[in-house]
Structures are given as C-alpha cells and as structure tokens.
Structure 1
Amino acid sequence: MRTIVFDQFSVRPQLHEVPAPAAPDAGVVIDVEATGVCRSDHHAWAGHDSTITLPHVPGHELVGRVASVGAHVQEFHVGQRVTVPFVCGCGTCRWCVSGNAQVCPDQTQPGFTHFGSWADQVVIHNADANLVAVPDDLPAAAVVGLGCRFATAFHGLRVRARLAADETVAVFGCGGVGLSAIMIARALGAKVVAIDVSDAALESAREFGAARCVNARGLSPEGLSAEVVAQFAMTDPDGVAVTVDALGREDTIRAAIGALAPLGRHVQIGLLPAEPVVDLPRVIALELSVLGSHGMAAAEYPELVDLVVQGRLRPQDLVTNVIGLDEAPAAMEAMGSPAASAGMTIIDLAR
C-alpha cells in the first residue's frame, strides 16, 4: 500500500510503498477514504511529541471502510463505513467502561502511537470500543474533521463546559479548532465572540457564526479581557459564561480567564509549550472552572454525528483544500508557514 513516511524529524516526508497491515485480534484494518491534515500532524513531524518513533506515518483524522477484522471483533463488519476518535481507549478499564476513553491510561492514537492514516490503510486497535459508524451518504469532508478538531471542540463545549443555548462564548484563536468551536457553539444555540490577530481569520469566524469579533493585535491580556466583556455588556449583562483557548498561549489564557463572569467555565484546548501562569486568585474568588478537553470518546459521538446529519453542523464548510496523497509532503511543510490557511485540508485517497 501507499504511505507517507518520515524517518527524520522536520525533513520532508516521502511517498513510499510498504506491505499492507494485518488486523490485530481486537482490531480492524480500514481502507482510508479521506484523511485530515492537522496541526497535530505537524507537531509530530517536527519532533514535538515524545511518543513518536521513527520511521513514522502521520494521520489521525479519517473516514473509510472496514477492510478486515480481527478474530475478537463483534460489533463491526467488513465494508462498514466508519470514523474513529484520535484517542482510542483499551475498552476495558474503568475510564473506558464509564464512557471516558479519551483519558484511558492505555490509549492508542493512530498517527502517534502507531502508523496513521496518511496511507491507503490504517490499523485501529480495540475496534468494538473505538469505531464510530457513519452514514454512507455523508460526504467525506463532513466526517474527516470529526476525528479530532470537531470532536475536541464538541467535547469541550458540550460535555466539559455543559454549554447551554443562549449562553455567551468567547473563542480565542480562529484556526481550525477555534472555527470548529464557533460552529459547534452556534449549533448548540450559544452567542459567540471570536478573538484573533488576523482580519482574515476573523472574517472566517464571522462567516461561521460569530456574532462579534475582536482583533487582539496590540492589546494586553487585561485590555483584551475588557474588550471581550464590552462586546456583551449591552445585550448580555450577566457576562461571558464560557471561554475557549484554541491557541495554547499564556497571554490568551490570561485574557480568557480575565473575561469570565462569576461561575464561568474556561475550556483549554490549545496545547502549550510550557506551564502557564494562571490567575488562581480570580479562579477562587469567582468560583471559575478551568477545564481540559483532550479528544472525545466514541461513546459521545452519536449526538455529534446527529448534528451533522441534521445539517445543523457542517464540518465540510471548513474544508478549503482537497489534495491527493502525493501532495501530502508539501502540505506538511506548508503547515509551518505563518500564512497557513485557517481552513481544513483533507487528503482524498482516490485522487
């Protein structure tokens, strides 16, 4: 089968042919229909993830059909169309049994702990606990992003922050995850203000449902907090209920926590290169909640998939570029550019 492989960090990956994989006893092999090009893939390629061993095949957002099943798989069959969360649980520990496979101590992650989906085929372990069936008539572009960015944003807003209709949400950072969070917040009936330093990113945020936008260029964290609060002051005197940091920067986290109303909830999605300083006195005084979101268990997918089937959430609108597998190495390198698109690139394995 064809794969995209890198055997050195930060060196251009290459298209190679390798032997096709076999399904493990509790797992499956999936014929990949399409797969995403995600910022996390770039972090793995750049050597920022200690779980990566070389040589390696990236890719963790995917949709495809089951090509073969292991002897112990009972719930899925050959030919079934599926997607999968990027965090796959063991299926048997207390966390998996309770529906929280995203924090499983023995988790696997395609594209990180083992070869990923930038290939004709990918192995998924513990298939009965991790595969998610998807309708045949949903376009691939509507499904691929459900594996990572949309799942992480949905879990953070719907499950961790328990976002309700008519609540106010401030999303800091309007890249792929930030735009996903905006789209999900709107699908859940919330009111959104988007924050970024790029006018183009803010225009995308407005297109995907942000009622208000704030350009943070030149603002201190305290000034940015005040500006975000001011956006809602006239119409929502109770203030900002939920903030999302989709960037992973200490200054945006400070601004986000500074903007929250009493009993507000902050969702941290963006990964950080170092431990940030958090305004804990404010967290204590206002009884704020600081919540992490690390993917989403397969058990939570039905509600997310239903939003897509109903047309209330359209992940395909975030797709700005469709490429073939042979174009993936250049796409990997391009993600390191400051001018990288805020939209989503997917790899169509049939191209």
Structure 2
Amino acid sequence: MRAAVLREHGEPLVIEEVERPEPDPEQVVVETEACGVCRSDWHAWQGDWEWVGAQAQPGQVLGHEPAGVVAEVGEDVETLREGDRVAVPFALSDGTCHHCRNGRANVCETVLPLGFASIAPGAFAEAFPVRAADYNAVKLPDGVDSVDMAALGCRFATAFHGLSHRADLSAGDWVAVHGCGGVGLSAVHIADALGANVVAVDIQQSKLDAAADLGADETLDASAVDNVGSHAKALAGGGVDLAVDGLGVAETCRNALDSLGRTGQHLQIGLTTSEEGGEIPLPTDAMVMKEIDFLGSFGMPPTRYDEIFRMVERGKLDPGAIVSETIALADVPDRVAAMSEFDTVGIPVVTEF
C-alpha cells in the first residue's frame, strides 16, 4: 500500500509502497478515509522532541488525525466490526493503566503516539493499525463526514479538552488565542461555542480573518504592535481570563501570559521547536503574585468524544469549518514543508490515498 514515509529529518517525505498492516489480537486495521495534516507532523519531519523521547525515526509512516472504516478485526476485539466508521486519537492508550481506568487515557503510562513511533505507524497511508482498539477506536455517529471528523485525532480534540476539561472556563469569560493555526482556530471556534468572548492573535491577516469567521470578537495583528500582551489585555477590558498558546514558541507563550489578568489561566497547547528544546522561561514571580494557573492539554480521552458529537449534532460545533482544503497523499510532503513558513490556513485533510 502507499504511504508517506519519513526518510531523513528535514528532507521531503517520500510516497512509497509499504507493507499493509495485519491486526494483532487486540487491534483493528482501519482503511483511511481522511487524515489531517498537522503541525505536529512538521515537528516530526524536523526531528523535534528528542528532549522528551518522542523523536520520530527514519522509516516512520506519519499522520495522526485519521477517520476511516474498520477493515480487519483482531480476534480479541469485542466492540468493533468490519465496516464500522471510526475516529482515532493520536495518543493511543493501553486502556488498563491507572490513568486509563480513571478517564485520563490521553496521559496513559504506556501511551503510544500514532504516527510517531515505529510500532504505531500513522495514517498518511491507505490503512493503519489501532492499538487496544476497543478503547481507542471511537465509533462515529451516523451521517457525519470523515473529513469533518479528521481533526478529532489531534487539534480539535486537544483544543476541546483544554477548554472544556482542563481550564475553568465560564460563559462570558475572555479568552485570548495566540497563534491561529489549526489548533488555534479550533480553540477560537470552541471557546465561542462555550459562550466566551474571544481575542484572536496572529501575524497573518488570512488567519485573523478565518478566526473572525469562526467567532472571534476581536482580532489582533501581533506584527503591528510593540507589546502584544498589553494590547490583548486592553481588548478584553483589563486582562483575559484564559490565554491559549496554540503555537509553542517562546514569544507566543510569553505574549499569552502577558495578556492575562489577575487569577487568570494559561493553557499551553502548542509544543516547542528545537529552538526552545522544550524549555521556555516564565515570569514565575509575577505568576505567583497574581495567582496565575499554568495548564497543559495533550489530546483528549476517547471516552469523552461523545461530548463533541453531541454539540456537533445540535449545531453548536462544526469541526469541518476549520478544514481549509482536501488534498491527495502525494501532496503531503509539500503541505508539511509549507508549515515552515506558516503557509497553511486551517486544516488540510488528505482524502485521496
């Protein structure tokens, strides 16, 4: 089968023939209908995250935002059948550890990141295996489009988990989203759906326009002002209640923190590049004196996906609104490389394999 394979960090991904997976007893094999192209794929391509033991190695099939159809079922799988349509979170859990048993499978003790580990080949391919399928493969409601659901694997679900489960967000609160890529735009849309007032911050007008379309009440061109945090704070009338860093570079992280009012919350979604190496200096004394909370969001437990499905069913959320284009597998190397210049708006989704 065809797949997009990492052969050398920083060199174009290679579209080549690889062996089709066979399911282990607790696995299913999913035929890919759609897979988002995420900035995390760019990180893997660059060779980032060695500092947390998550560097993708040459030979890795990338792709971690999939939706598709169950094609083969392992003998020990109980809840899935061939033909079931599923979404799959990128953080593949074992379903048995303490965190999984307590509804926190996204931080499973033996988590395997789909598309980043050799034993978890990704979904930039005609098919891919799903570990502990009874736990990790989430059946899609009837009538939903796989393209619309692709980002549930990573960006949309991570933003939803951060805003709905990690942060203490109330209707009427002010939220500043710093960095309006795919996860940032998802955060804008979700925060608006949850009743918050949203300030969207970016350096590209096209992304700010997209944020406005998705519900941002205010937009701020970070390249046009000297003190981004102060300007975002002023737009919220004295400080935002929740600041989201959707990019993961030192500048956006600090700008987000600087936009907070007293007792505010900072939500870190973006992961760092090799320039930061996983470490960003923080104004810890000011955070203590203002009682600022610093939170992280990493994926979303698959047992809570029904919360998104209910909101989609009632028209309150539309993950498909963040999808910017559908592309072929052959286009993936160029789309991943374009993220070096931040040249993608929204979420490109692969639909031709």
Which TM class, normalised by the smaller chain length?
A: over 0.9
1:348 has 2:351 as partner:
yes
1:136-151 → structure 2 map (5 Å cutoff): 136-151=142-157
1:1-351 → structure 2 map (5 Å cutoff): 1-50=1-50, 51=54, 52-113=56-117, 114-217=120-223, 219-220=225-226, 223-233=227-237, 239-273=239-273, 274=276, 275-338=279-342, 340-349=343-352
Alpha carbon RMSD of aligned pairs, Å? 1.6
C-alpha contact 2:32 2:67 (8 A) present in aligned 1: yes
Structure 1 residues 7 and 252: alpha-carbon distance in aligned structure 2, compared to 1, 3 A threshold: closer
1:7 deviation in Å?
Answer: 1.9
Q: How far apart are the structure 2 equivalents of 1:34 and 1:85? A: 13
How big is each residue's C-alpha offset from its partner over 1:316-341, in whole Å with a ceiling of 9 and x where there is no partner? 12212111222223323323234x12
Structure 1 residues 109 and 77: alpha-carbon distance in aligned structure 2, compared to 1, 3 A threshold: same
C-alpha contact 1:141 1:315 (8 A) present in aligned 2: no
Higher mean Cα deviation, 209-218 or 152-161? 209-218
Q: How far apart are the structure 1 equivalents of 2:330 and 2:228? A: 43
Q: How far apart are the structure 1 equivalents of 2:332 and 2:178? A: 28
1:48 deviation in Å?
Answer: 1.5
C-alpha contact 2:41 2:63 (8 A) present in aligned 1: yes
How many corresponding residue pairs? Answer: 343
1:218 deviation in Å?
Answer: 5.0
Matching residue's letter, 1:98? N
How big is each residue's C-alpha offset from its partner over 1:255-279, in whole Å with a ceiling of 9 and x where there is no partner? 2222222221110011123211111
Matching residue's letter, 1:55? G
Higher mean Cα deviation, 101-110 or 178-187? 101-110
Q: How far apart are the structure 1 equivalents of 2:338 and 2:280? A: 28
User: Which secondary structure state, in structure 2, belongs to the residue aligned with residue 278 of structure 1?
Assistant: coil
Identity across aligned pairs (percent)?
39
How big is each residue's C-alpha offset from its partner over 1:23-50, in whole Å with a ceiling of 9 and x where there is no partner? 1111110011111111111111221243
User: Which secondary structure state, in structure 1, belongs to the residue aligned with residue 103 of structure 2?
Assistant: coil
1:65 deviation in Å?
Answer: 0.9
How big is each residue's C-alpha offset from its partner over 1:195-251, in whole Å with a ceiling of 9 and x where there is no partner? 11222221111111100111121544xx32221121122xxx6x4211101121223
Q: Structure 2: 5+ residue runs without aligned partners?
A: none
Q: How far apart are the structure 1 equivalents of 2:334 and 2:260? A: 41
1:76 deviation in Å?
Answer: 1.4
1:54 deviation in Å?
Answer: 2.1
User: Which secondary structure state, in structure 2, belongs to the residue aligned with residue 217 of structure 1?
Assistant: helix
C-alpha contact 2:10 2:45 (8 A) present in aligned 1: yes
- Normalized against structure 2, the TM-score is what? 0.93
User: Which secondary structure state, in structure 1, belongs to the residue aligned with residue 113 of structure 2?
Assistant: coil
Higher mean Cα deviation, 302-311 or 146-155? 302-311
How big is each residue's C-alpha offset from its partner over 1:107-132, in whole Å with a ceiling of 9 and x where there is no partner? 11211112100111001101111111
Structure 1 residues 49 and 26: alpha-carbon distance in aligned structure 2, compared to 1, 3 A threshold: same
User: Which secondary structure state, in structure 2, belongs to the residue aligned with residue 336 of structure 1?
Assistant: helix
Q: Structure 1: 5+ residue runs without aligned partners?
A: none
